[in-house]
Amino acid sequence: MADNAGSASPQGPRGPAFRDASAENPAAASPWRSFAVEAHAGRKIAGWPLGRFDVGAGGLRVRLGFPWFVTRSAGKDAITVVSVTRVVTGVWCVRFEDSGQRLADAHVHLPVRAQRIIDQLRQCGYAVTDKKTGQPVVRLPQRWHAA
pLDDT digits (tens, 9 = 90+) for 103-135: 999 999 999 889 999 999 999 999 999 988 888
Residue 51 lies in a domain: yes
Residue 116 lies in a domain: yes
Residue 108 lies in a domain: yes
The pLDDT value recorded for residue 106 is 95
- Return mean pLDDT, the chain: 81
Q: How many domains does the chain have?
A: 1
∠ CA 19-22-24, rounded to 5°: 65
First to last CA, the chain: 72
Residue 7 lies in a domain: no
**Angstrom distances, CA of residue 45 to CA of 51, 87, 122:** 8, 16, 26
What pTM, to 2 d.p., does this model score? 0.73
In CATH, what number is assigned to the domain containing residue 116?
2.30.29.30
Q: How far apart are CA 106 and CA 88, in angstroms?
A: 19
Q: How far apart are CA 132 and CA 134, in angstroms?
A: 6
